[in-house]
Structure 1
Amino acid sequence: MSFFSKFGPNRSEAKEVPADGKDERYETSSIESAEKQTGVQKVEAIALTWSRTSLWVAYAGILLMATATSLEAQTTYLYTSYALSGFGHHSLLSTISIVTGVMYAVVKPPMAKIADVFGRFEAFAFSILLFVIGYIMLATSNSVETYAGSQVFYAAGSTGLILLQQVFVADTTNLLNRALFSSLPDLPFLWTVWAGPEVGAAVLKGSTWRWGYGMWAIILPGCCLPLLGSLFVNMLKAKKKGLLPPSKIKQHGIGGFLVKTFWDLDIIGLLLFTAALCLILIPLTLGAGATGKWKNPSLIAMMVVGGVCLIIFPFFETSKKLAPSPLLSLRLLKNRTVLAGTLIAVFYFMAFYQSVFPYFYSYLVVANEQSVVSAGRIVLTFSFTSTVSSIIISFLIKWTGHYKYFVCAGGLIYILGFGLMLRYRVEGSSRAQIVINQVLVGLGGGFLNVPAQLGVQSVVPHQDVAAATALFLTAISVGQAIGSAICGAIWTNNILPKLNEYLPDDVKANATDIYSNFVLASSYPPGSPARLAINRSYQETMRLMLIGALVSAVPIVFLTFFMENVDLKAADKQNTKGRVFGNSGPDDDDRIAEESAVVETKRRESEAGIKA
């Protein structure tokens, strides 16, 4: 017995999955999964109408959309420091990161719900609308409050697109090809990671950060048209063939439809989840440090209320009466692979957001004295490396039919990278030393992220794929929010006191301004007593963050061994319908025709029941 099979049974010995999907490997699926929601029925109907050409067009649309969102992400993060410094609130970088992290977390489950309840096309269109609203607000914001509020809409739209891309991949691929196609939205990082800092620097030089945000409200919708058009055309084909499910408004009436939608989207659970994360994490950065804000009773009250919401949330979500269609399918966590995979996602991004975002860029510009372009490229080295390694790993997964080996290796590489980062990310280190550490951590990240997500998806039936994907991606965002809160607390608790301690007497009066504006901090001449004091403050604070990152990464190594060693080739009969990549040969045309007939018969029976 191998080391890996000891910690996870090899699925090659498992029985073939029955047609109804009720195999022991899908034990996490609850009874309600038997009745598929409208959005799932829609996408399965659309899958029956895909031609090979239209499927390729849809994936070309995914790649174009991913290119736009990738280049947007590589440029706009540069503007955050300048925007907040312009408002006089550079220290709120972590707070803004927490706000976006919380939104990333809370939006994924309802967006998956919208995709399941209404349809994939409708969810994509809604996400694009939120994205555009967010960037218009960011470009026109005149205060830090408006800027933070804009992040809510932007994060909601952005994370919706990220989630839906992965759900679409899960809808249109079999398990053996899923890791490879799941890497497709990350493929543009291979070129945007280098172009992003150049574009961002050019925008800052020729215009302002406002145009840097505003232009994406124009570019992104245009880049999304091929995918939306492909989905819409095939949805019309499915409608003409009578494959789409009957209208819920006809079934329940307008009032009943609204009530059902309220419970289907689990609005109460969404409010509890949002309140729990916001009211616990945001006060950590606002109340920490020498500001003395912990004396403010409102911050204590926020954390208490947030803690209560966090305690209530799982009980609410697991109650079939209170949450008949829960926001997060916590029942899936009964499966050890889903549980281990989601925890890996939490700790993975906890460590990442304590070491790379949101203060690493400021550290490079100030303490390491890098240029805007150079600092941007160093930060984005992680994205480039993790993308390359995830693509290579995806090919190896397709070849071997296993993902667990790579997850286990990734955990070890990831923690090794943080150990070396703690050793070499110090003042005076060469750019090469810093970049090598970023490459190593990125390599571990590529081994972890896509394979772990595939592992979570491999143990649930198609009805639960969107929910499982949302659960995994939500765990990523929770990890981001927690990591941002920890590093924000470290930053606010250390930078200003250290500046007051180390700055020369004639500069100490400017300590608060230096703390609040990294542009001012980098303006002092290199080698001057003031700059040396600033660099020392940044360096000592960064070291504390890296210690936190290393500690956060340690559990990943142990969690990887608890994921099941699924044989993807044996489990490749997962309950997907229609034409999908890896299952679209000529021999499948008869099968697709039979599935179409079955779906049409069920629709007619359902409509007959409504009329009766």
Structure 2
Amino acid sequence: MSDLKGGSFGLAHPSEVPVADTPEKTSADKEAAATHGSDESANENQSDDEISQDAQAGVQAIEAFTKVWTTPHIIMAYVTIWIIIFVDAMQSSMSSLLTPYVTSSFKSHSLTATTGIMANIISGLAKLPLAKVLDIWGRPQGFASMVFCLTLGLIMMAACVNVEMYAAGQVFYWIGYNGVAYCSSVFIADTSSLKNRAFMMAFITSPYIITMWIGGPLAAAFMKGPGFQWAFGTFAIVTPFICSPLLILFIINYRKAAKLGLLPKRESNRTAWESIKHYAIEFDLAGILILAAGLALFLLAFNIYSYQAEQWRSPLIICFLVLGLLLMIAFPFYEKYVAPVTFLPYHLLLDRTVMGACILAAVSFVSFYIWNSFFPSFLQVVNNLDLNKTNLVSFTYNIGSCFWSFVVAFAIHKTGRFKWLALYFGVPMNILGIGLMIKFRQVDQDVGLIVMCQVFIAFAGGTLVICQQMAAMAVVTHQHVATVLALESMFSSIGGAIGSTITTAIWTGTFPGRLYEHLPAEVKDDYMTISRDITVQLGYEYGSPTRHAIAQAYGDSQRYMLIAAAAIQVVSFVAVWAWRDINVKEFKQVKGRVI
């Protein structure tokens, strides 16, 4: 691998990895060093080249893996990961464009954001058990299970006959999709030095720069041709195929490590039932179910109340709210007084940098899902863009943030610091972009102004995502890297679910009413049919009184969404301010042949 603007970006054996000299350590650096030191006290007499004896089996296995793999295998692994992320990103961009048409085909366009709520909650909560799978059993086992979930979700979405089945498919799809991305991130962290890791994190998101140009034409081609079912069915075939080379690479190098006697020995005298019971306790399945059910019931109440005749007074909605709230209150008590093994690693959450990174991730996703959930529909109905142009505008965020993440990675590589980037650039730029959209995401506004706002938000997103991941990883040892990445990702997913709930509540609470007010008298009786189906909305000629009325209703709802999305960003300042100002050049976190 070549140098990047003079910065070392090559492969190095552990004995060859230099530790940068700095004139003086700040108090934050010393505090972080103390954190690392306390975690590694059991290994203080161990050589840097030895496998960590106190780490879990999965961590020991990946350290053995990195000791035996060759430079061609390293290159092959990273190229394969890039291809996997490329295909998944292409499929994801297509899926987001197709979702309004899928829900509309079942006369449920208002449920566009709702279909992802359970998916966000469950896929987010699944990250911590997945982290334990990676640490206890190994990286290949976790990756393979996520590929299975992703493929199953695509099959269910392809075969859906109603919006409920589509939503269930979304749950498996997003568990697998986010799980594959998470496993890739953990593998990158396993095989890269801390000071170069931001580059590697930017590398695995770079496919989005290309896929934004493909998703729109692909979605349009399927909609004009075989239909959305085949769009999902095609990727159900492609996904296992493109993921297989990485699994094969894992198997080859793990077998090589086993022959050399580097892998830890695993012995268990448990029966099948004892194993099921053991892992149910180890993964705290009861705690996961309590929290998932509580969040799902509470948040879904805000999404489906408008479909009930009595709305908020409906017995079903009241039951959802009360039971959901009781389960969420019960969760911490269960964890403290009942659970043999706790679901959340509280010893890590007590670290202000880890907690600050998690809160930033949650707030960023709450804000993003509030303003983005109905954005593709807005562009088509209000700005009269086709699917291809809608894709280009709505995915400006992806291309901008992925490009900018390389700039952020270079800054971290050169300075060793990341807090200043998030505090003085990322958060302010995010607020600026969202705030300007309050003015520009309205009827008769030039779409170029919306793109400008998207660019601002993209630069902010590229900064914050890299910085929050670096913050979470910089204060722990290798054996906790998978866990803190899972925590950060879990907070992101739950934030996405909350954001989807807020935007759906705003939409259902404002759009139908505003639409009725704006519609010409002759079509007022059709306002509910119009509000629930994007194809009906697009069926009215652009510029006609009815289409203009629909566009005005969109603008009214969007204004409320954007105000909420901007206001919640205040929490981001507090979260980033809580981080320690750590120099990542000071710590050696991983072992073996790394980048």
Is 1:41–2:91 an aligned residue pair? no
**1:253 CA drift (Å):** 4.4
Q: Is the 8 A contact 1:110 1:270 kept in 2?
A: no
2-side partners of 1:400 and 1:421: how far apart? 33
1:40-70 deviation per Cα after TM superposition (whole angstroms, max 9, x unaligned): 2222222222222222211111111111111
2-side partners of 1:97 and 1:6: how far apart? 45
**1:168 CA drift (Å):** 0.9
2:122 partner amino acid: M
Residue 182 (structure 1) aligned to one of 197, 201, 210:
201
1:203-251 deviation per Cα after TM superposition (whole angstroms, max 9, x unaligned): 212220111111111111111122111111111112112222222434x
1:193 partner amino acid: M
Report the equivalent of 1:104: 123
Report the equivalent of 2:329: 311
Residue 76 (structure 1) aligned to one of 85, 95, 106:
95
2-side partners of 1:161 and 1:420: how far apart? 35
Matched residue of 2:268: which SS? helix
Residue 557 (structure 1) aligned to one of 552, 573, 578:
573
Residue 567 (structure 1) aligned to one of 565, 583, 589:
583
**1:180 CA drift (Å):** 1.1
Report the equivalent of 1:587: none
2-side partners of 1:101 and 1:13: how far apart? 32
1-side partners of 2:25 and 2:390: how far apart? 44
**1:574 CA drift (Å):** 3.8
User: What is the correspondence of 1:316-335 to structure 2 with a 5 Å cutoff?
Assistant: 316-318=334-336, 322-335=338-351
Residue 414 (structure 2) aligned to one of 399, 403, 428:
399
**1:555 CA drift (Å):** 1.6
1:254-293 deviation per Cα after TM superposition (whole angstroms, max 9, x unaligned): 4433322222221112111211221111111111589642
2:305 partner amino acid: G
Is 1:210–2:225 an aligned residue pair? no
Change (3 A) 1:541 1:128: same
Q: Is the 8 A contact 1:64 1:223 kept in 2?
A: yes
Change (3 A) 1:13 1:208: closer
Residue 441 (structure 1) aligned to one of 457, 468, 486:
457
Report the equivalent of 2:159: 140
Q: Is the 8 A contact 1:521 1:531 kept in 2?
A: yes
Q: Is the 8 A contact 2:127 2:489 kept in 1?
A: yes
**1:18 CA drift (Å):** 4.5
Matched residue of 2:539: which SS? coil
**1:367 CA drift (Å):** 1.6
**1:329 CA drift (Å):** 1.4
Count matched residues. Answer: 562
**1:326 CA drift (Å):** 2.9
2:567 partner amino acid: V
Change (3 A) 1:59 1:323: farther
**1:325 CA drift (Å):** 3.8
Q: What stretches of structure 2 of length at least 5 have no aligned partner? A: 1-23, 43-51
1-side partners of 2:57 and 2:94: how far apart? 38
Report the equivalent of 1:608: none
Report the equivalent of 1:364: 379
**1:20 CA drift (Å):** 5.9
**1:440 CA drift (Å):** 0.5
Q: Is the 8 A contact 1:8 1:562 kept in 2?
A: no
User: What is the correspondence of 1:456-467 to structure 2 with a 5 Å cutoff?
Assistant: 456-467=472-483
1:249 partner amino acid: S
Report the equivalent of 1:378: 393
Residue 590 (structure 2) aligned to one of 549, 562, 576:
576
Is 1:272–2:326 an aligned residue pair? no
RMSD over aligned Cα atoms: 2.2
Report the equivalent of 1:116: 135
User: What is the correspondence of 1:120-519 to structure 2 with a 5 Å cutoff?
Assistant: 120-250=139-269, 252-288=270-306, 292-318=310-336, 322-356=338-372, 358-408=373-423, 409-519=425-535
**1:187 CA drift (Å):** 0.8
Change (3 A) 1:272 1:505: same
1-side partners of 2:309 and 2:381: how far apart? 23
1-side partners of 2:202 and 2:61: how far apart? 25
1-side partners of 2:455 and 2:308: how far apart? 35
Q: Is the 8 A contact 2:36 2:476 kept in 1?
A: no
Change (3 A) 1:371 1:226: same
Instruction: Give the TM-score taking structure 1 as reference length.
Output: 0.88
Change (3 A) 1:17 1:105: closer
**1:530 CA drift (Å):** 1.3
Matched residue of 2:68: which SS? coil
Deviates more, 1:138-147 or 1:519-528: 519-528
**1:7 CA drift (Å):** 11
Matched residue of 2:395: which SS? helix
**1:315 CA drift (Å):** 3.4
1:546 partner amino acid: L
1:377-422 deviation per Cα after TM superposition (whole angstroms, max 9, x unaligned): 1110011111111121112111111111111120111111111111
1:110-132 deviation per Cα after TM superposition (whole angstroms, max 9, x unaligned): 22122122211011111111111
Q: Is the 8 A contact 2:62 2:139 kept in 1?
A: yes
Report the equivalent of 2:18: none
**1:12 CA drift (Å):** 9.5
Matched residue of 2:107: which SS? coil
Change (3 A) 1:166 1:324: farther
1:333-358 deviation per Cα after TM superposition (whole angstroms, max 9, x unaligned): 111101111111111111111111x2
2:578 partner amino acid: F
Report the equivalent of 1:62: 81
Matched residue of 2:303: which SS? helix
Change (3 A) 1:318 1:458: farther
Deviates more, 1:342-351 or 1:14-23: 14-23
2-side partners of 1:289 and 1:439: how far apart? 37
Matched residue of 1:245: which SS? coil
Is 1:534–2:550 an aligned residue pair? yes
2-side partners of 1:15 and 1:39: how far apart? 25
1:561-607 deviation per Cα after TM superposition (whole angstroms, max 9, x unaligned): 2111111111xx444222221xxxxxxxxxxxxxxxxxxxxxxxxxx
2:350 partner amino acid: K
1-side partners of 2:29 and 2:136: how far apart? 35
Q: Is the 8 A contact 2:290 2:331 kept in 1?
A: yes
Change (3 A) 1:93 1:131: same
